Structure formats: structure tokens, C-alpha cells
Amino acid sequence: MSINLFDLSGKIALITGSTHGLGMAMAEGLGKAGATILVNGNSSQQKIDDAVAHYESLGIKAKGYKFDVTDEAEVINAVQKIQKEVGPIDILVNNAGIIKRTPLEDMAVADFKQVIDVDLVSPFIVSKHVVRGMIERKQGKIINMCSMMSELGRNTVGAYAAAKGGLKMLTRNMATEWAKHNIQINGIGPGYFATAQTAPIRVDGHPFNEFIINRTPSAKWGDPNDLAGAAIFLSSRASNFVNGHILYVDGGILATIGKPNNED
């Protein structure tokens, strides 16, 4: 009898920030693998409703929950509501995030703190309130959306790199403290993907666009659908002995120092 190590049937997955972009791409993958998708956003109920309709149009079971991942009271309330209305959360993907591109010397402290709050503190808050159920049930999967900025810096994204570097170490510490409960906590580190977040630096002719094409061995921007496999793997029994690992999905960019512009 063949076992499908990547089957998520019967699992309930909460993906924060899953009304668009990489969060939606990963949620689609988890849904197509059989998971029920809990859609989260904080901008508008309409966006959440539209996203739920999108998942359902793909034959994916989905339900929307609007809450601010940086607000602990809202997170506690949402987790309790989900437990009552849908059931225990088996898979948590801490994907919600923001970026502010400003030279550090010009960056307002409030802006720096906001990036840290959303990108680093909120995965702690949401995980803290979801993990209790996972500990009780002696099983669970947590995926933190890191970044290649968890490893490398870049001009103007200092707050984001600080947050994503911290999230890499928070992921390792979550594994250190929770793996004994049969909970696997890992990270996904995207390289450069074609999303709304990168649209401003991806336009044709933008120097950064040419730079990334040249700097990435795969010589292209990632397609958000390229992330689904990594999310399914880290959400499934196929990764039951993988813990504290950051899986980079980056077209090879972190493997190389790059090459001169005129080299193939």
C-alpha cells in the first residue's frame, strides 16, 4: 500500500497574511494537498472574503479570520474562535510581514519598530498561542517565513533584515524548546520572487531587476508557486525529523558570490 508522505488531508492550516502574494501561493499548495485553509489578513474583510472565494474556486476548504497578528488579545480571540468553529490548528505558517525600504540613517524609530513588530514579534505571539494546543496533542507544524535577508544584508532594508535574521534564530529556539513535543518548527527563506512586495524593484530597466537576474544562478525571479512544494514538505509527515531548519527557496542565490555582468 503506497503512503503519500505529503498528504495533508484532515489537517487544519492557518497561514497569516494569506489574502495575496507568497502567503496565498503557499496556502493554495497546502489546500491542494488536502488541508483546510484558515485565511488571515488585517486590511479589509472584503479582501479576506475574496481570498476565501478564490480558494473555494480551486476546490479548497477555506474560512477567513480577520485579526491583527501584532495584537495579542486579537490573536488569543482568533485562536479560540478557530478552535470552536473549525478545530485545532495542525499547521501554522507565520507569513504576515511588511518591509520598509529606507537608509538606516534616515529611518524613523517608529518605522523600524513597526517592521520588527510585524515581522519578528508577531510570529512569537501567534506561535505562543497556537503551540499550547499542539503541545497538548503532541503534534504540530510551524513554519516561519524567513528570507534571504535572514543571511545577507542589503541597502535600505536594515529593519527587515534585522527582523528576518532574528526570525531565523527564533525558529531555532522554538525547535529547541518545542521539538520534544513532536512539533516541527522550521523556516522557509525565499529568494527574490515576483510579488507585489518586489514590484517596485522589479520593473524592466530597474538596476535592481538586472542585478537579481545576474546574481541568481537560475537567472530569474521566483514564481510564487515555486514555494508551494517547500510549504507542503515542511507541513507534512515527510519532514517529521526536520527541526530548526531554514529551507531556502532562492534559485541558488545564497550558493554563490555571483559573477561579473559580462560573464554567462
Q: Which residues bind ligand GCO (CB under 6 A)?
A: 99, 101, 147-149, 154, 157, 160, 190-192, 197-198, 201
Q: Of the residues 65, 160, 192, 248, which is catalytic? A: 160
Least separation in angstroms between CB 182 and ligand GCO: 30
Nearer to ligand GCO, 86 or 98 (CB): 98
Classified as helix, coil or strand, 166 is helix
Least separation in angstroms between CB 87 and ligand GCO: 32
Give the residue nearest to ligand GCO (CB): 147
Cβ-proximal residues to 180 (8 Å cutoff; 6+ apart), any chain? none
The dihedral built from the CA positions of residue 220, 222, 223 and 225, taken in this order, carries a sign that is positive
Nearer to ligand GCO, 190 or 224 (CB): 190
Nearer to ligand GCO, 132 or 154 (CB): 154
Residues in the chain: 264
Active site includes 160?
yes
Q: Cα(192)–Cα(216) distance, rounded to whole angstroms?
A: 9
C-alpha cell, 1: 500500500
Classified as helix, coil or strand, 8 is coil
**Contact predicate 5/238, CB 8 Å:** yes
C-alpha cell, 237: 509527515
**Catalytically active residues, by annotation:** 160
